[in-house]
Amino acid sequence: MQTIRQLSAKIVEHKLFQPTIIILILINAVIVGMESYRGLYENYGNWFIRIDTIILTIFTIEIIIKLLASRPMRLFFKDGWNVFDFFIVASSFIFMGSPFVTVLRILRVIRVFRTISVIPSLRKMVNALILTLPSLGTIMILLGVMFYVFSVVGTFLFRDVAPEYFGTLQHTMLTLFQIITLESWASNIMRPVMAELWWSWIYFVAFVLAGTFVVLNLFVGVIVNNFEKIEKMENEDEEPEDLQEEVHMLRKEIKELKDLIKNR
Amino acid sequence: MQTIRQLSAKIVEHKLFQPTIIILILINAVIVGMESYRGLYENYGNWFIRIDTIILTIFTIEIIIKLLASRPMRLFFKDGWNVFDFFIVASSFIFMGSPFVTVLRILRVIRVFRTISVIPSLRKMVNALILTLPSLGTIMILLGVMFYVFSVVGTFLFRDVAPEYFGTLQHTMLTLFQIITLESWASNIMRPVMAELWWSWIYFVAFVLAGTFVVLNLFVGVIVNNFEKIEKMENEDEEPEDLQEEVHMLRKEIKELKDLIKNR
Amino acid sequence: MQTIRQLSAKIVEHKLFQPTIIILILINAVIVGMESYRGLYENYGNWFIRIDTIILTIFTIEIIIKLLASRPMRLFFKDGWNVFDFFIVASSFIFMGSPFVTVLRILRVIRVFRTISVIPSLRKMVNALILTLPSLGTIMILLGVMFYVFSVVGTFLFRDVAPEYFGTLQHTMLTLFQIITLESWASNIMRPVMAELWWSWIYFVAFVLAGTFVVLNLFVGVIVNNFEKIEKMENEDEEPEDLQEEVHMLRKEIKELKDLIKNR
Amino acid sequence: MQTIRQLSAKIVEHKLFQPTIIILILINAVIVGMESYRGLYENYGNWFIRIDTIILTIFTIEIIIKLLASRPMRLFFKDGWNVFDFFIVASSFIFMGSPFVTVLRILRVIRVFRTISVIPSLRKMVNALILTLPSLGTIMILLGVMFYVFSVVGTFLFRDVAPEYFGTLQHTMLTLFQIITLESWASNIMRPVMAELWWSWIYFVAFVLAGTFVVLNLFVGVIVNNFEKIEKMENEDEEPEDLQEEVHMLRKEIKELKDLIKNR
């Protein structure tokens, strides 16, 4: 058992291990892209399936080796990206032979996301992006409350006038999401509703103003976040506290000096 | 009287007081959301009304207790959020039994905004967002002047050509608001007008350029505002003036030292 | 002559002078806004004209007084805002009695912009906004070159396919301006052209990418500009050079001290 | 040979050399702009061709002189802008007399881009803009992976429902590019697809959220980049390390002083 673990660790750390996986992911990406062309799929469908089976096998072996290589096996699942890899490969087995070809295909496409889990710089960046999300928590809740209140009000007010946009709560929510992206909010949504209820502009203008203001502050939050991170890194280099302490010490020593001279 | 005040204060400070209110607001939100579905309302309408009566009663009691708990009663109304809570609950009584079902419903939805007044972090954030508004005052007035001038000019120039967009002053203002969000400004508004008056592009391009430039500076104002707040907080920690003063004191002491040695 | 000058200066500096002008501008704004309503104009048109004559008279007197109040009269025209005021009032006289009612009306509306020249904080802000423009000069030229090249290329390529968008150079320029605001660039402009010339997407995607990238950098320029201004103001308070110099002087003095002790 | 080199260098460094080239580029720009008008071209086409021949000749001579002026001739091609100039002029000769009039015309238009290579400040700015691109590399790859995965999934899911938008992989990519600019993403693309497949909103909302979030971070990257450059330039002036070192040296010297006094 010990030897298997050591062997696995050696394989994982081999300098060709990661590039091989990256190349396989790229081949997988190309295959799945080619499959999306009907003509190619009809003629070479069998080849695609064969190559896919080979890739899936190698990916399975890869994960087993990685699992074996991590000292306490639980450690493997502590990294979110390993869990991500594990589920992507595992799900391919679960849906194997199922009649839902589309599900299987989408799973194969999602494997391309493994580029992120395999290339360290991408992994780092995505981790950083995800880490900014919790700091935006409060403003997200605020946006959520705003969305919910405007959705319920919008449904009550406009469900009879524009059922395709405000028919049910979920329709209204989608419509509000569209409005917050400012896409056709006036020409397609507000103006037809206004033709029936002239005062409806208050609702739309209020939502656009409040929504863009909150979203703007969400964006500002992301920007400020980034700057704070950078400044923190810079401040660690500068160590201004040391300077202050050093000047403080200086003063103490001069006092001692003075006492020394006086008391002689 | 004293005992009632003390009892109220105890209730308000009880650790379960706030969570109870939050849960009631959530129930209120769910109920009002469910009401927006026609089928549910027709079948369970009575239940919704009953639960609503209960919630309204508890909210009323809550506000009375809070009112009693604040030492000089006026203090309660000094906090804008308390006033907000008070009016939301009071208005439900005012419109009670009125034939405007929609008004009552909207009042019930607006109660969901109480999430903000109840959860401290949300309250703080909204307070902060509102506080940034006055610092944007000057640029708001500028935007207002620009809007008004372009509205009057637009009405004079295009009211015969495109009455649905420029018919009256208020129509033009709404249209300009749509243009500043860049929604269909060219395809739906400028191009049809240009088909009649070819020179009208000057008006639209001028407004888009001036408008987006001013709005951009409004956004920059918000961003700069946020950074200044953060920098102020950081500078309070650093205390660079102390450092300078300390160095200055140092120099004085060394001068004394020199005199001491010289005069011996 | 001297007495007139002194009298004028007294009037200009009177604490009620500026508020009176602001109120007159507001009345002018309201009148011109009311005129845009057909019904009001037909019934009260004469009144509007009378009030306008009074306001114009007062504005003329105001400018004459201001002119008299400035010691060397040329100084009055050194401030761009005074020139602005002068031309707005003067133009009303030039076009007086002309058959172009719309021109006269627009001149009357533009007077509302005098709010900016009269209220100091607005004046300052607009001055600041205008001052940021020259620092954006280089990127503006770059944007101009890009616009021109894409316009000529677009006209050559698509003038037969979509004459309403790319018929002549000026049409293409307006279309490119619309594309840079991302308004209907794909649905109304690119897709119909692509239906004829499938490769045309290269032109549009290239322009959208290059355009938004340059405009983004223009925006970043505005933001950076604002921050630099703020930092400059802050640095003037901090005077870090003094600190460094003070420490340097300290070191010198200690050296002297050492020599003093050694040489005793 | 030596004399030719010296003569060329003298010409290149002459103060009228650069302005002449700029004026020629402007004339070239105007000519090519006028050519885009059918009427002008039919009447004055010969003149345009003659002026173009003259300009091309002068540009050729210019490049030959510049080539001769650079000491080791290879040095000329080390500057990307020289290569750019060389290819633009060379290509005009390659396509000379070819039947593709449009290609020749576009080459003539692209010469206007030489404004950038000739005016130093523009050259510097474009160099700076291009230099920011590699630092955005990681987020570009991330965006690429996201685009590819969503393209393949979109093609599989919606190719039968909306072939004009999701027919093939390249169609879907263009559609996703349109969606990321938020242009008609809901009204023209999502809503028609939703009419067939109600759950398709998940795909679109997910892409809009993920896409705008990543693009936002791309923008933030550009802004942060610009600030870091500025701060670096400022820090080089401040030299805070020197200050710290100086204080450190001060302390050492005082220690020596103390020892000096003690040991006497």
Give average pLDDT by consecutive 10-residue segment, chain D, 264 residues.
Answer: 80 86 91 88 85 90 87 81 87 77 82 87 84 82 92 93 92 95 94 93 95 85 71 57 66 72 68
Report the range of poorest mean pLDDT among A43-57, B191-205, D236-250.
Answer: D236-250
Chains that touch B (3 or more CB pairs under 8 A): A, C
Q: 10 Å Cβ neighbour count for A174?
A: 19
Quick one: which of D199, D153, D196 has its CA closest to D176? Answer: D153
More confident residue, C160 or B104: C160
What local confidence, expressed as pLDDT, does residue B69 receive?
Answer: 84
Walk along chain C (264 residues) and give the pLDDT tens digit of each residue: 678 888 888 888 888 888 889 999 999 999 989 988 888 888 888 888 888 889 999 999 988 888 888 877 778 888 888 888 888 888 888 877 777 777 888 888 888 888 888 888 888 888 888 887 777 888 889 999 999 999 999 999 999 999 999 999 999 999 999 999 999 999 999 999 999 999 999 999 999 999 998 888 888 777 777 666 666 666 655 545 556 666 767 777 777 777 777 666
Quick one: which of C37, D231, D220 has its CA closest to B151? Answer: C37
CA distances, A120 to each of A16, A30, A124, B69, B224 (Å): 15, 22, 6, 57, 34
Calculate mean pLDDT across residues B59-88: 85
Q: Do C129 and B217 touch (CB under 8 A)?
A: yes
The beta strand positions in chain A, using DSSP E, are: none
Q: How far apart are CA D144 and CA D126, in angstroms?
A: 24
Q: Percentages helix, strand, coil for chain D, rounded to the nearest 5?
A: 90, 0, 10
Check whether B240 has a pLDDT greater than 60: no
Q: Do D168 and A32 touch (CB under 8 A)?
A: no
By the 8 A CB rule, do A83 and A77 touch?
Answer: yes
By the 8 A CB rule, do A161 and A196 touch?
Answer: yes
Q: How far apart are CA C82 and CA C88, in angstroms?
A: 10
Q: DSSP character for D188? A: I
At B239, the pLDDT band (50, 70, 90 cuts) reads very low
pLDDT, averaged across chain A: 84
Token pair of A203, please?
A: 């609702």
By the 8 A CB rule, do B261 and C257 touch?
Answer: yes
More confident residue, C90 or A252: C90
For residue D100, report the phi and psi dihedrals to the nearest 5 degrees.
-80, 85
Q: How far apart are CA C41 and CA C35, in angstroms?
A: 5
What local confidence, expressed as pLDDT, does residue A166 receive?
Answer: 94
E strand or H helix at D142: helix D137-158
What local confidence, expressed as pLDDT, does residue D149 receive?
Answer: 94
- CB < 8 Å from D in window 196-225 of C: 201, 205, 208, 212-214, 216-217, 220, 223-224
pLDDT tens string A133-188 = 777 888 889 999 999 999 999 999 999 999 999 999 999 999 999 999 999 999 99
Quick one: which of C84, C126, C115 has its CA closest to C21? Answer: C115
Q: Do C223 and B220 touch (CB under 8 A)?
A: yes
Q: How far apart are CA B115 and CA B125, in angstroms?
A: 13
**What's the pTM value of the predicted model, to 2 decimals?**
0.85
What local confidence, expressed as pLDDT, does residue B123 receive?
Answer: 87
- CB < 8 Å from A in window 6-35 of D: none
- Contact list in B for residue A156 (CB cut-off 8 A) is 36, 102, 105-106, 109
By the 8 A CB rule, do B40 and B34 touch?
Answer: yes
By the 8 A CB rule, do A105 and D157 touch?
Answer: no
- Contact list in A for residue D232 (CB cut-off 8 A) is none
More confident residue, B103 or B116: B116
Q: How far apart are CA C259 and CA C83, in angstroms?
A: 68
- CB < 8 Å from D in window 115-174 of C: 138-139, 141-142, 145, 148-149, 152-153, 155-157, 159, 168-169
Q: How far apart are CA B166 and CA B176, in angstroms?
A: 9
CB within 8 A of A57, min separation 6: which ones? none
C97: left (phi over 0), alpha (psi -120 to 50) or beta: left
- Contact list in D for residue A261 (CB cut-off 8 A) is 261
Percent of chain B with pLDDT over 70: 89
Calculate mean pLDDT across residues B221-248: 64
What local confidence, expressed as pLDDT, does residue B155 receive?
Answer: 93
Q: Which residue of C has its CA nearest to D179?
A: C186
Among B125-129, B242-246, D255-259, top mean pLDDT goes to B125-129
Interface test with A, best of D155, D156, D188, D239 (most A CBs within 10 A): D156
Check whether A81 has a pLDDT greater than 60: yes
The SS3 assignment for C15 reads coil
